[in-house]
Amino acid sequence: MAQFSYACENNADIILRSCSGYNTRWALCVMEGALPPQVSGPDAVVIDFGTNDATVPHLPSSASFQHVSVSEYKENLKKMIKWSKSLRTSNGDAPIVVLVSPAPVDEKARAVWAESKYLAMKGLKSLPDNYPKGITDRKNSLQEKYALVAAEAAKECGADVFINMYKSFFEHTNDPSPYFCDGLHYSRAGQDLHYAIFAREVELQAPKFW
């Protein structure tokens, strides 16, 4: 969203309310306090959640603490959309609501990250023989599932723009590895691609806003 803020710096004020590590359940607890008191109502609201909700459940230790079931995730998104549409712009209109689905992940890189974290936590130099190779806290099968549910929430609650970031990424590439620095968080190339998809879809689906 930093690139979006830069693109709009001459004609709009962008209020970023990114909460590191948050899922939709936690975001709902702070959503109503997201706007500064002096802001009467935004012209648009961008809702971009899901990758943390889609954390693989039932992993050892605390690795799954961010997980939210797919059914709760959908209901939480619907609450977010409805709340956003209840706001009013300075003209008395409802804001444009943009819902962005989870993007894919690089599972191989995420497994390597998990291995390095395990070694650091245990103070080891090599993995024990019983370590479950390939274990990861994110899987594309779940990312895709949550993206499809996000589409349902957008349709049911009348979001003005829906961006299936998972599908759009794979329309661009079959290899997500250059777009992530640890399998989960974007590299610069990933940031650029995310913004390009975002800008294209908003322009196509809500040209008056863009």
Q: Is residue 175 part of a domain?
A: yes
Assign residue 33 the CATH number of its domain: 3.40.50.1110
Residue 9 pLDDT exceeds 60: no
According to the model, what pLDDT value does residue 8 have?
A: 58
**pLDDT confidence tier of residue 36, bands split at 50, 70 and 90:** low
Residue 37 contacts by C-beta under 8 Å, 6 or more apart in sequence? none
- The overall average pLDDT reported for the chain is 88
**pLDDT confidence tier of residue 39, bands split at 50, 70 and 90:** low
Q: Is residue 85 part of a domain?
A: yes
Tell me the chain's radius of gyration from C-alpha atoms: 18
Residue 6 pLDDT exceeds 60: no
Which domain range does residue 40 map to?
A: 2-104+138-205
Q: Is residue 147 part of a domain?
A: yes
**pLDDT confidence tier of residue 35, bands split at 50, 70 and 90:** confident
Residue 7 pLDDT exceeds 70: no
Q: Is residue 126 part of a domain?
A: no
Q: Is residue 64 part of a domain?
A: yes
**pLDDT confidence tier of residue 69, bands split at 50, 70 and 90:** very high
Domain count, the chain: 1
Better-predicted residue by pLDDT, 43 or 117 = 43
Residue indicated by tokens 């300075």: 90
**pLDDT confidence tier of residue 117, bands split at 50, 70 and 90:** confident
3-state secondary structure the chain: CHHHHHHCCCCCCCCCCCCCCCCHHHHHHHHHHCCCCCCCCCCEEEEECCCCCCCCCCCCCCCCCCCCCHHHHHHHHHHHHHHHHHCCCCCCCCCEEEEECCCCCCHHHHHHHHHHHHHHHHCCCCCCCCCCCCCCCCCHHHHHHHHHHHHHHHHHHCCCEEECHHHHHHHHCCCCHHHECCCCCECHHHHHHHHHHHHHHHHHHCCCCC
0.85 exceeded by pTM: yes
CB 80 within 8 A of CB 47: yes
According to the model, what pLDDT value does residue 157 have?
A: 97
**pLDDT confidence tier of residue 190, bands split at 50, 70 and 90:** very high
Q: How far apart are CA 148 and CA 190, in angstroms?
A: 21
Q: Is residue 150 part of a domain?
A: yes
Q: Is residue 91 part of a domain?
A: yes
Q: Is residue 79 part of a domain?
A: yes
According to the model, what pLDDT value does residue 3 have?
A: 64
According to the model, what pLDDT value does residue 158 have?
A: 96
**pLDDT confidence tier of residue 199, bands split at 50, 70 and 90:** very high
